[in-house]
Chain A
Amino acid sequence: GIQVEQSPPDLILQEGANSTLRCNFSDSVNNLQWFHQNPWGQLINLFYIPSGTKQNGRLSATTVATERYSLLYISSSQTTDSGVYFCAGPTQGGSEKLVFGKGTKLTVNP
């Protein structure tokens, strides 16, 4: 199955700063998703982004499928952005089942 690697593992920011999180995957994927897990454990789907770029408010994501990576951009970070960000891709081919990276833990300080 595919391997999903995320970097950096930890990130500490001051409120208002911008950041870029990276996700590398070992094989081509047709289903790449980004999630945010808040400090209470709830996982929220941020993007389904097999290729191209999407934006949602201060967050945007870009997947370059041919080069097997995806980036999540957070602009003007807020304390509520704190938590763990996960990317996930299908275990193989067109599988519905996702394998998750280990996550990037983001702390935004006031």
Chain B
Amino acid sequence: AQSVAQPEDQVNVAEGNPLTVKCTYSVSGNPYLFWYVQYPNRGLQFLLKYITGDNLVKGSYGFEAEFNKSQTSFHLKKPSALVSDSALYFCAVRDPISGAGSYQLTFGKGTKLSVIP
């Protein structure tokens, strides 16, 4: 079964500083990995995904993520945090060869990012 771990419930970072939100995964095959952001009382917004190819993936709003197969990680990063980046971030995985269940997204518990002015 596929699973995702986000080890930090909350991350605080000063505005202008780089930010990292951590994610590790477990799947039986090669993973398809996604990051979503959720603002209060809003739906989930897609940020970026890793399917194959370059391990560094660039996404929306200046975010990027690095896929590391040996460490089974897919950490979300941004060089310079904005106050408006404050939100709940979810990492998600799909295992494309697991048969039944391969279309659903399995989410981590989420990490609350607070960017301090």
Please say whether chains A and B are actual partners in one complex: no
B contact set with A: CB distance below 8 Å: none
A contact set with B: CB distance below 8 Å: none
